[in-house]
Amino acid sequence: MTTNPAAEFAQKQFDFLVVGGGPAGLAVATRLSERADLVVGVLEAGQAAFGDDKVEIPGLAGTGLDTELDWQFRTLPQAGLDGRAIPWGRGKVLGGSSALNYMTWNRASRHDYDEWEKLGNAGWGWDGLLPFFKKSETFHPPDDATKATGRIASHADAGDLGRDGPVQVCYPKQYSASHLLWHDTLNAVGVKSNDAHMAGDNTGCWTSVASVEPASFTRSYGANAYYEPVASRPNLVVLTGAEAREVLLVEANGGWKAKGVRFLHDGVEYNASASREVVLSCGSLQSPQLLELSGVGGEKVLTAAGIPVKVDNPNVGENLQDHLTTALVFEVDPSLQTPEDLRFPEVLAAAKEEYARSRTGLLATVPVSISYVPLDRYIPSETMKTMLSSSTGSDHVAERDEARRRRFVEQANELGHVEFIFDLGNWGVGFVPDPSGKTKYGSMLQIIQYPFSRGHLHVKPKTQDGSDSLTAALDIDPQYFGGHRGQLDLEIAAHAHLFAEKIAATQPLAGIIRSQVHPTPSEVDSESGLRDWLKRAMTTDWHPVGTCAMGGRAGVDGGVVDERLRVYGVEGLRVVDASVMPLQISAHLQATVYAIAEKGAHMILEDLGA
């Protein structure tokens, strides 16, 4: 007799329903299910991808984008980017975006998290988060040979990292030819190597840790780190292929209470119930989308979309912040191996054979050449003051705006305002490489960490063609280089571009570079030319945050959730993912997302009591 897993799921009596089987959702569900008396259900729209090379082999990172593992969102056309609509990849797979990312495992500086707490979000500073960073990870210390090859300091043995968490993290044992030149080059332009980049100050240059299990050298991510080891728990049920369409709210105590979730599975709708709480862990795009689909959001947005208003909160979907990135592309020494060589079948076959045999080669190489550089390294202080004073709008629109201004002026020499990464291969937007594959490339990425650009995303009415697609039903408008002070991002990018060129022209890295091919020198031989090129070349770094932000002291007037991650105006409903971050951080997001999930699960259990 065949069974219907969706019908069985809908009939089960859950204490908690977690919507979203990404890194945050699986971490929360795993921790809640450690209590045998709690029954936890997880709804995930994608399928499991255990054993999929696109996910598990580090050297194939990025190949899952724009496939069935990706929601394949796109932004609205961006006026600040010459009208371009930008692809926004998000994981539609068990494990979420942790199955698709490039495995960088780092933390922001202490100040970034302390700013969250200063906004009135008690317990969300560095000291409050550090135990949860460590709880999420098992760090595998490098041996002496790896330390020497990768220029890794001994700080990793000083207790900065966790030793018994689910996500396996390590330094790679093998490095690209360009990484071996990274530290000396950055040191030569005045950027020091950071001997403790995970300990609360990430400025300087360093070799990154990766979310990789060292023995098998495979990706360690939400699905195989948190869920797979405990998949047999009878009180933890995960349903894949299930698209959540609405949080079911009932009137209670003069307000609203979450009682379950309506979801779609194989074209059939079901309702699942939760006796205690519903937890949204759908990420910065889809957690606010699901709130709005459930009647929680701004009245104007919901009315326009034909959704009855239950809780009027115009902050839902607002405060969207993303890391903006451009890549300079260089022709490099043709004898170097680059990841793009894998597009040739014979190279890929040989690489797979080597990887299977020894866990070495192109498929065991990941980007680890990282540097976070303060503004004062490339923008004179007087220029910064002029830039800020000449921008439009008030300095005090909100506390969050004041915090951003403070980072820009008062901490120009303390924080990593722009991240620089060098990696072999072509990362350039709009650049067409030599189709023969004979020309080899390297790319210098410059990534703005504290953007002034602020956008939003909101649901819209069903598409005219009758499509019921969640992707088509979401308008995403990050307003790159737009909005209040957004032009400052363009100015910062222009100055950072010149510093990136300086790095590339400095030995020993310059020794493997033959010429700059994107942009060409003629494209950026004037200030206006450089800014025009940046508008054509800027794209996302896939790090959206802030759309269900913690309100802090401002409460419902300034956010969507309180410091316990409870949705304002709805009992029994929380959001636990990157969307709760009130301010963007100077770091890749995944380690922080796991820490948020660990802390969120801890608070849920704490509020539940014995």
Residue stretches of the annotated binding site: 93, 542-543
Distance CA 1, CA 54 (A): 35
Q: Which of 283, 142, 171, 166 is nearest to 220 (CA)?
A: 166
Match 């929360």 to its residue by tokens. Answer: 28
Question: What's the Cα-to-Cα distance from 341 to each of 278, 432, 437, 544, rounded to whole Å?
Answer: 46, 15, 7, 31
Residues marked active site are found at 543, 588
Q: What is the DSSP string of 292-329?
A: HHTTEE-HHHHHHTT---SEE-TTTT-SBB--EEEEEE
590-608 and 23-32 are packed helices; what angle lies between their axes, rounded to 10 degrees? 30
Dihedral sign (CA 594, 596, 602, 604): negative
Distance CA 577, CA 474 (A): 19
Task: Map residue 476 onto helix, strand or coil.
Answer: strand
Contact present, 284 and 577 (Cβ < 8 Å): yes
Q: What is the DSSP string of 24-79?
A: HHHHHHHHHTTSTT--EEEEESSB--TT-HHHH-GGGTTTTTTSTTB--EEPPPBG
What's the CA angle centered on 67, arms 64 and 71, to 5 degrees?
100
Q: What is the DSSP string of 133-146?
A: HHHTEEEEPPPHHH
Local structure of residue 20 (DSSP, 8 states): -
Point out the annotated binding site for FAD.
93, 542-543
Reading phi first (left if > 0) and then psi (alpha if -120 to 50, else beta), residue 307 is in beta
Match 């189709």 to its residue by tokens. Answer: 435
Task: Map residue 604 onto helix, strand or coil.
Answer: helix
Question: What's the Cα-to-Cα distance from 248 to each of 31, 238, 298, 302, 570, rounded to whole Å?
Answer: 24, 19, 18, 16, 11
